Amino acid sequence: MIEILSPAEVARGRKTGALVGDILHALEGRVAAGTNLLEIDRWAKAMIEEAGARSCYVDYAPSFGNGPFGHYICTGVNDAVLHAKPRDHRLAAGDLLTLDLAVLLDGVAADAAISFVVGGDGDAESLALIEITERALAAGIAAAVPGGRTGDISHAIGTVLSDAGYAINTDFGGHGIGTTMHQDPHIPNDGRPGRGVPLRTGMLLAIEPWVRADTDVLVTDADGWTLRSATGSRTAHSEHTIAITDGAAEILTLPTRR
């Protein structure tokens, strides 16, 4: 299903997106060496419920997971990049942490992810991974214009990643979003320009480049959810929910509390 949202629904999506951005920003500021991943999950739950919103993850049970997910946020540490279930694990200074959050508020969902180094002082590889996903995300968003196609977004992301020497996995990528979290179209992180679904004003899309340092192969943890680099190399993931407008795409998941 591909939804075209009304102006009123897009306006509600702005509120949802701001909430997602603000929660992720608050969590990044709160996480420190010694923080337990289950604490992060509890903090996310409290902030979601305080806002009168609903987690998109707790009851999420797609065909590729061992669902339901049962938690409020994804917490990927170092080599874990996607669908990472919170567990009883304390972070160390220098860990590369990815937080991925999706919530539903007033009938519209928003989805975003950030990667950062715990304690702030990262090694060169970790900082490069974060920087390249953020740059690829910006390129993908810039390509998301009415009259374009999803392949234009994929090509823009893939060009940035491949030019930097990273292997690209296209099994998981961006997606449509609206009254539910995961919708068509699928937006892989590489593709051909001029192909794919036409972009129309009122579409909401979650754009999400992610990379591993030295492989494009993923392995799944015994929890049935957490996807890791097959080589144990570090990973990073950056994501925003955007709205296709009559001009440049509007980023909905920027934090308002900076």
Cβ neighbours of residue 138 closer than 8 Å, sequence gap 6 or more: none
Which long-range contacts (C-beta less than 8 Å, at least 24 apart) are formed by 156-163? Answer: 157/189, 157/190, 157/207, 157/209, 158/189, 158/190, 158/191, 160/132, 160/135, 160/136, 160/209, 161/132, 161/136, 161/189, 161/190, 161/209, 161/211, 162/190
Output the average pLDDT for the chain.
96
Does the residue 256 lie in any domain?
no
Does the residue 87 lie in any domain?
yes
What pLDDT score does 64 carry? Answer: 85
What pLDDT score does 258 carry? Answer: 61
What CATH number is given to the structural domain containing 123?
3.90.230.10
Question: Domain range spanning residue 219?
Answer: 7-251
Does the residue 138 lie in any domain?
yes
What pLDDT score does 152 carry? Answer: 98
Cα–Cα distance for residue pair 224/215, rounded to 1 Å: 21
Regions in the chain scoring below 50 on pLDDT? none
Does the residue 257 lie in any domain?
no
What pLDDT score does 257 carry? Answer: 74
What pLDDT score does 75 carry? Answer: 98
Q: Can you read off the two tokens belonging to residue 156?
A: 């823009």
Does the residue 208 lie in any domain?
yes
Cα–Cα distance for residue pair 128/139, rounded to 1 Å: 16
From the number of C-beta atoms within 10 Å of its C-beta (0-12, 13-18, 19+), residue 187 rates as buried
Does the residue 2 lie in any domain?
no
Does the residue 233 lie in any domain?
yes
Give me the number of domains the chain comprises.
Answer: 1
Does the residue 93 lie in any domain?
yes
What pLDDT score does 244 carry? Answer: 98
Scanning the chain, the segments in alpha helix (DSSP H) are 7-30, 37-50, 124-142, 150-163
